[in-house]
Amino acid sequence: MSFMDSIWLVPIFPLLGAAFNGLVSNRRGLSKTVTQTVALAGSGLAWLWGWAAIAQWYLTTDHHHAHVVTVFQWVNGGALRILDGSMADLTINASFQIDALSSVMVGFVTFVGFLIHLYSVGYMHDESDRAYARYFSYLNLFMFSMLVLVLGSNLLVLFVGWEGVGLCSYLLIGFYFEKDWCASAGKKAFVVNRIGDWGFLLAIFACFAVFGSLEFGSMFPQAAAHPESYASAATVIGLLLFVGAIGKSAQIPLFVWLPDAMAGPTPVSALIHAATMVTAGVYMAVRCNVFYRISPTAMLVVAIVGGLTAIFAATIGLVQNDIKKVLAYSTVSQLGYMFLGAGAGAFVAAIFHVVTHAFFKACLFLGSGSVIHACGGEQDMRKMGGLKKYMPTTYWTFLVATIAIAGIFPFAGFFSKDEILAKVFAAGYGDLNGYGGLYYLLWGMAVVGAVLTAFYMFRLVFMTFNGEFRGGEEAEHHLHESPWTMTLPLQILGVLSIIGGFMGFPGVLFGRPELNKIEQFLEPVILPLQWGGHDAAEHVEHAVHHVPLGLEWGLIGLSLAAAFVGIWVAYRFYMGTDAYQRPRLLAEKFPFLYKLLLNKYWVDEFYDATVVAGTKKLADLLWEFDARVVDGLVNGTRNATVGWSFLSGIFDLRVVDGAVNLVGRTYEVASINFRRLQVGFTQGYAMVMVFGAAILLVVFLVSF
Amino acid sequence: MITATHYVMLSLVLFSLGIIGVMMRRNFITVLMSLELIFNAVNINLIAFSFRLGDLSGQILAIFVITIAAAEAAIGLGLIIAFVRLKDTVALDQANTMGG
C-alpha cells in the first residue's frame, strides 16, 4: 500500500474519530476511556500516516514536484469565458497534494495535534462524560479541517478546510457555552473571521476569472511564466487573499477576536489559537507567494500590516495580567512577524517561524494550562507566583519555551526570528521594490518588538513562577504538578523548542548554505519568475548575499542584545526585593500610557462604538424600513385585496347571484302556472289538440 | 247518384265519430279503435277524391295509410299490454302519473 497515494486518509482518520465521538459517544454518554481512545487513535493515525506519506514522498520522488491525488471530481461547471477571452473548464476536483510546503505543515500539525490531544486527556478529565466526548469530537473535527486545509491542492479545497477550522474554532471557543461571555467570544471570532473569508472568497473568484483554474499546479506556473501580464491581477488577488489571512491570522485590524478566543479550554488555545489554525493565513500567503512576488504593492501591504501588528500587539502584552491574554497578544505579535517576513520576501523564514512558533507557543499555552489547572481555574497572574517549587516540570518547560520565544541562542525562536529580522533588514539594504526605507523602518519596529517580546514573556515567567505565592493559603494547598499526560507533551515540546531551530541553521554565515535544511527543502515552493533579473524575491536573496558578513553578525548580536535587554528589564521590574515597585512607579508616572495599554488601545471599544454600533444602527434602520415600507406595502396590498374582495363579494351576492336567482325564480313562477296544464289526463290532451286544430281551421277559413 | 259529396259527408261523419271516441271513451282499446275510424275516414276521403280526379296517387296514399295504421295498431296494442301490466286496467284516466 502506498501511503503517498492514499494521502486523503490522513484527514479521514480524525474525521471518523469526530463522527464517532460526536454521534455515538456524546449521545450515549460513553465512558471517557472509550472517547479518549477513539480521539487519540484518530489523531495518532493521522500523525503516523501523514509522516509515513511524507517519508515515502521524500524518498521515492525527486521531492521537487507536488504529488497530487484526486479523490473525486467535485464541481463540474462546464465551460466558461474567463477574463482574457478564452474558454476555461470550471472543473474542480476534491484533490490533495503533498509537496514540500504541505509536508512541513502536515508534519508539525499532526504531531503537535496529537500531543495536544494527549494533553487534553489530562486537562479535560474533570468534565462530564458527554462534554468530554463533545470536546474530543470538536478537536478531531478540527484536525480533519486543518489537514484538509494544508493538503488541498486547489484554493477551493483549501477554503473548505479554512471554513472548517473556523467552525471548529467557533465551537471550541464557545465550548463552555453556558457561560455568556464564552458564547459571545465564539460568536465574535466567527463574525470577525467571516469578514476575512469574504476577501478570501473574492480572491478565489478572481483567481478563476484570471487563470481559469484553481489548482495550485496550474495557477502558479502560469503566473510565474508571464509575470508582466499578471502583475495587476496579482495585486488584486494578493490583497484579497491577504484580507482572508488578516481575519484568520488575527492581524490589524481584525486581531480582536484572538484575545477573546482564550475563553476556550487552554489546549484549544494551544492547538488552534497558537500553533495551527492562526498560522493558516501565513501558510496561504506562502502557498501563493508567486502573487506577492509579482506584486510589490501587495507585498508591501503584507509587510506593513505584519510589522505594525507585531509591535502593536507586543505593547498590549506588556501590561496584561491574565496569563492567557499575554500569550494571546504574544501570538498576534508573532503572527505579525511571520507576515512581516513574508512581506519582505522571506517566505521560507515565515514558514520556519510558523513551525518553531508552533513548538514553543504550544508549549507555553500548555504550560499555562497546567498552571491554571493547578490554580483551580485562576488566570490572573497577580494571584500566582512561586509556582516553581510546586510544579517543576511545568516551570522548566515553560522557561525553555520562553527563552525560545525571546530569541536566545541556540533555542528555536532565535533562528527563526533572526532569519526574519535579517531578511527584513536585507530588504531595506537591497532596496526591495524601491521601498527600502520603509523596510528599514519595519526592521527597526521589529527589533523594538523583540525587546518587548522578551520583556513581557519574562514578566510572565517571573510573575507566575518566581517570588511568593499570592493566591492565598487555601489555593496554595491545592497546588500540584499535573499528570503525565499533561507533562509529557510539555517535555516533548520543550525539547523541540530547544533543538527545533537547527532545521534552519543559518549556514550561509559559515559559507555552507546547505546547512539550512528547511530552506533547501522548501526551495521548490518558491517558483522562479521568468522576467529576467527583476524577480522581486531575487532582490532579497541578492541583497542577503550582499549584506556584508560582518553586518550579518552585527544583526545577530543586535537581536540577541534586544532579547537580553528585555529580559534584564523584566528581571529588574519583577524580581528581587523591590519587585513590582518600578512598574508601579512607571504606571503612576505615565498614567495615560498605562491605561492605554491596559485597555488594549480601546480597540474593542472603538469597534463597538463604530462598527458594531454602526451595524446595529444600520440594522435598526433596515428594520424600520422593513417595518414601515416593506410591511406597509405588504399590509397595503393586503388591505387593498381585502377591500376589493369585499366589493367583489357584494357584486357577487347582488348582481351575479341575483341574476342566477332571477332566472331560477322566473322558471319557478312560470312552472307553477304552466303545470296546471299538465293534467295528466290523456284524453284532455287529445281534446286540446282537436280544439286547437279546429281553431286553426277556423282561422284558416276566415283569412281566405 | 252517389257523388263525391256523399263520400265526403260519410268521411266527415266517420271522422267526427272517431274524434269523439278518442276524446270521450275511457277504454284504451276503444280509443285505439276510434283512431282506426279516423284513419279510415281519411282513406275514404282520399279514395273519393282519387276517383273524382282520376288520379291514382290518392289510392296509393290510402294503401300507405293502411300500412301505417297497421303499424300503429301494433304499437298501440303493445302500449296497452304494457299499460295493463303496470296498472292492471285499460281505463285511460288511470294514466295520470305525470299530472302536475
Contact A683 B97 (CB under 8 A): no
| A415 contacts A348 by C-beta, under 8 angstroms | no
First to last CA, chain B: 54
What band does A1 get if pLDDT is binned at 50, 70 and 90? low
Among candidate residues A539, A317, A326, A343, the one with its CA nearest the CA of residue A429: A539
pLDDT score recorded for residue B96: 78
Residue B34 — pLDDT band, cuts 50, 70, 90? very high
Nearest to A632 by CA among A642, A644, A640, A643: A640
Strand (E) or helix (H) holding A548: none
Inter-chain contact B99–A679, Cβ cutoff 8 Å? Answer: yes
Task: Name the pairing type of β-strands A67-81 and A87-98.
Answer: antiparallel
Of A676, A683, A686, the CB nearest to B100: A676
Report whether pLDDT(A545) > 80. Answer: no
Least confident stretch, A399-408, A532-541, B33-42? A532-541
DSSP code of residue A215: B
Mean pLDDT computed over A135-152: 95
How many Cα atoms are found within 13 Å in the side-chain-facing hemisphere of A258? 33
Per-residue model confidence (pLDDT) at position A565: 94
Give the pLDDT confidence of A91-111 residue by residue, as tens digits.
899 999 999 999 999 999 999
Give the separation between CA A662 and CA A652, rounded to whole angstroms: 14
* Residue of chain A whose alpha carbon sits nearest to that of B94: A681
Sign of the CA dihedral running A323, A493, A38, A483: negative
How do residues A106-132 score in pLDDT, each as one tens digit?
Answer: 999 999 999 999 999 989 988 898 999
- A594-645 pLDDT, tens digit per residue, is 888 888 888 888 888 888 899 999 999 999 999 999 999 999 999 999 999 9
How far is Cα B21 from Cα A293, in angstroms, rounded to an integer?
127
Model pLDDT, residue B65: 94
Q: What is the pLDDT of residue A544?
A: 52
pLDDT above 60 (res A222): yes
Q: Please give, rounded to a whole number of angstroms, the shortest distance from the CA of B90 to a CA of chain A.
A: 13
The pLDDT, as a whole number, for residue A539 is: 47
Separation CA A540–CA A453 (nearest Å): 26
pLDDT tens per residue, range A395-438:
999 999 999 999 998 899 999 999 899 989 988 888 887 888 89
A145 versus A90: which is more confidently predicted? A145
> In the predicted model, is pLDDT for residue B100 greater than 90?
no
SS3 A72: strand
Is residue A154 over pLDDT 50?
yes
- Average pLDDT rounded to a whole number, residues A174-187: 92
3-state SS of A435-468?
Answer: CHHHHHHHHHHHHHHHHHHHHHHHHHHHHHHCCC
Q: Are A14 and A48 in contact (CB under 8 A)?
A: no
What does the pLDDT average to over A506-519?
82
Nearest to B96 among A675, A676, A680 (CB): A680
Answer whether A451's CB lies under 8 Å from A564's CB: no
The DSSP H or E segment spanning B31 is helix B28-53
pLDDT given for residue A673 in this prediction: 87
- pLDDT of amino acid A446: 94
Contact (CB, 8 A) for A41 and A82: no
Of A674, A676, A686, the CB nearest to B23: A686
Strand partners, A75: A92
Q: Which residues of A touch B97 (CB under 8 A)?
A: 680
Instruction: Enumerate the residues of chain A whose CB falls inside 8 A of the CB of residue B95.
Output: 680, 682
User: What pLDDT is stored for residue A546 in this prediction?
Assistant: 66
Give Cα B2 distance to the centre of its chain.
25
Q: Provide the CA B60 distance to its chain's centre, in angstroms.
A: 18
A626/A622 Cα distance (integer angstroms) = 6
Q: Is A351 exposed, middle or buried (0-12, 13-18, 19+ CB in 10 A)?
A: buried
Percent of chain B with pLDDT over 90: 70
* Closest in B19, B31, B93 to A681, CB measured: B93
Q: Residues near B97 by Cβ (< 8 Å), separated by ≥ 6? A: A680
Q: Is this complex scored with an ipTM above 0.85?
A: no
Binary contact (B23, A679; C-beta < 8 A): no
Give me the pLDDT at residue A81, please: 87
For residue A677, list chain B residues with Cβ-Cβ distance below 8 A. 100
In angstroms, the CA A618 to CA A613 distance is 8
A177 grid coordinates: 457555552
Q: Is A650 helix (H, G, I), strand (E, B) or coil?
A: helix
Q: What does residue A150 show for φ and ψ, rounded to 5 degrees?
A: -85, -20
Fold of the CATH domain B4-92:
Helix Hairpins (1.10.287)
pLDDT at A535: 52
What is the reported pLDDT for A311? 93
- The answer to whether residue A687 scores a pLDDT higher than 60 is yes
Q: What is the pTM for the complete model shown? A: 0.78
pLDDT in tens, A649-658: 999 999 999 9
